Each structure stands twice: as C-alpha cells, then as structure tokens.
Homo-oligomer: A and B are copies of this chain.
Amino acid sequence: MGVNENVLKPLDRLSQALAGEMEAVNALIRQRMASKHAPRIPEVTAHLVEAGGKRLRPMLTLAAAKLLGYPGDYHVHLAATVEFIHTATLLHDDVVDESQQRRGRPTANLLWDNKSSVLVGDYLFARSFQLMVEPGNLRTLEILSNASAVIAEGEVLQLSAAQDLRTDEAIYLQVVRGKTAALFSAATEVGGVIAEASEEQVRALFDYGDALGIAFQIVDDLLDYGGATETIGKNVGDDFRERKLTLPVIKAVAKADQAERDFWTRVIEKGDQRDGDLEHALDLLARHGAMDAARADALDWAGRAKSALSVLPEHPIRDMLSDLADFVVSRVA
C-alpha cells in the first residue's frame, strides 16, 4: 500500500497500553506463519513480518476491543488476522508494483522471486481465514471477508484508474477505501463486535477506522510530492514516475488549462517523462493550490475520525485514538 507508518508517539502510547495483548498477537503471528512442509514460507514471511512495521492495524483491533471492555481473548485472533491480511496484500502489491524496497529492505519478490511472493501471499491469506474462523463469531467473519473483497476490488480498480486522467476524486476515494481504509475500518469494527458493543458504537468504530485510513493515505500521497513541513526522508516523485493519479494531481488536472492538460497527458497517460517534468508538475500543484487543498481534505478526514469517537465511552484509549488521528495528519499539517 506504500504507506509510511511514521506515526510514532500516539502509537507508542497505544503500544504501552496494549503491551500484553500485543505480545500475544506477535506470538500468534509467529506460530501461524510457520509451515511444516514448505520451508520457503517462514523464510519469506519472517523477512516481512519481523521487518518491523508499526503493527498499526492489529493495534486498532486491540484498542477497540479494550475500549469497549472486552474481557476475552479472541481480539488477539482478530488482530493477528488483520495483520496477516495486511502482510498478504503487501507481498502481492510488491509483485504488482514491481517494487524493490519496503521499509528500507529489499522486497521478497526481489530476494526470492515473484512466484514465491504470489504463493506465500496466498498462504498468508488462507491462514488469515483460518484464524478468523476460530473465534466462532459469524459477524466478524462477514466483516473481514467483506473487507478482503473490497481490498482486492480496490487494487484492481487502481490498475485501471492509474494512468487515466479521467480518474476523479470519487474514483480516488474508492481506490483509497479499498487499498487502505477497508482494513482500518474492519480492524476497528471487529474489535467492537467481539466486545458486543452497541450498534451505534460499532458504527462509530467503523467510521473512525474508515476516516483514519483515508486521512492516512491522503497524507502518504501528499508526502510523495514532498508535502511535508519538515524533511521525512521519503523519495519525492515515486507516484509521479509510476504514473499513479493521486489526490494532488487529480486536483491540479481538474483546474488545468489546455497546455497543462497536454503536459499531464504526456507524462501520466503516455508515460513520456523528461528531465524537469517532476519540477514542472510540482509547480502546477503549487499554482493551483492542489497540495493545500489535499492537505485540507486530510485534516477534514482526521476531524471526522475524531468526531466519530464521541459516542464511545470515556477511556484513556479513546484519547489515544483521537491523538492518533491528529498525529497521522501532523506530518503534513
């Protein structure tokens, strides 16, 4: 998904508040990514799962369950399920995007091959379904299997939406919901469902995850055009070179005159990119206020995430989730 999970402080506080459960999640992940028969599987998964990553998604499940007072153990299974789905999609994304690096390390498709990434991704996906069956809760099964379908659909949609200047903000939102927000919202929603929260609370948890995921992805797309107030160490222009239509460009294209449209057609649709094109693109984004407008959208989604929390019980975890929404957008605010 290409999301830089550089959301340290509120996540660190969540990590501390959920340390015991998070350890159980990690133990379960290590146990279930093993394979008796195919040693290639733990090699590939260990490379990816142990490589770090902030475990943001499983933390959301644990946080939601704890916030709603869940007394049992199955939130651990659901959190591990969410991380397995995430990891499976990363393996397949790196094949589809022909990526060479993730989290500063060579990708599995580079270290092994595309075949291993495809098949080990399938294995993790299947393992995620085994895990999600274990709590015996049909509603969480529906939520997570629906999320899996929305994720895959979003990825396919992105294939055709990329390199197509007709991609508008509605399609962008659809893609973002699929590639990022669907798993965020499923993660928070299942935490509420397993805790037997009220319908209103479950809906609020869904809305929080959905809005947080959208804010998160918009920020990531902004950072790709250097939208940070301070240097973050992310390469500027990757999406431009891959001809992905993200929010800043969509906004600039909507305001383009004929000469600018010709430029975008050449660099994005035809893929004919020359020296100085990225700089010209950045100029156009600035000229039309596209970065500021996308930033305002991200802040708006973060605000919606925070508002959704209002119907949930007062609890230190609720405050951390609220801070998390602020922190996600603080990278571009």
Please report A residues at the B interface, Cβ cutoff 8 Å. 35, 37-41, 89, 92, 95-96, 114-116, 118-123, 125-127, 129-130, 133, 136, 138, 141-142, 145-146, 148-149, 151-157, 159-160, 174, 178
Contacts and interface: CB of A to CB of B under 8 A. Distances in A.
A156 B40 contact: yes
A126 B156 CA distance: 13
B96 A119 contact: yes
Contacts of A35: 153, 156
A174 B138 contact: no
A156 B116 contact: yes
A184 B106 CA distance: 38
B125 A122 contact: yes
B133 A141 contact: yes
A148 B127 CA distance: 8
Nearest to A150: B126
A153 B96 contact: no
B152 A116 contact: no
Q: Which of A37, A40, A146: most chain B Cβ within 10 A?
A: A37
A123 B152 contact: yes
A133 B145 contact: yes
B92 A157 contact: no
A178 B133 CA distance: 21
Contact of A152 (B115, B119, B136, B141): B119
Given A114-B114, A122-B148, 4 more contacts: A95-B114, A123-B149, A126-B149, A133-B145
A35 B115 CA distance: 26
A141 B140 CA distance: 13
A145 B35 CA distance: 15
B129 A160 contact: no
A41 B115 contact: no
Nearest to A175: B37
Contacts of A141: 133, 141
Given A127-B149, A145-B133, A160 B40 contact: yes
Nearest to A139: B133
Contact of A119 (B39, B92, B138): B92
Nearest to A143: B133
A160 B120 CA distance: 13
Contacts of A120: 152, 156
Nearest to A144: B129
A137 to B, nearest CB: 9
Contact of A116 (B38, B116, B146, B159): B159
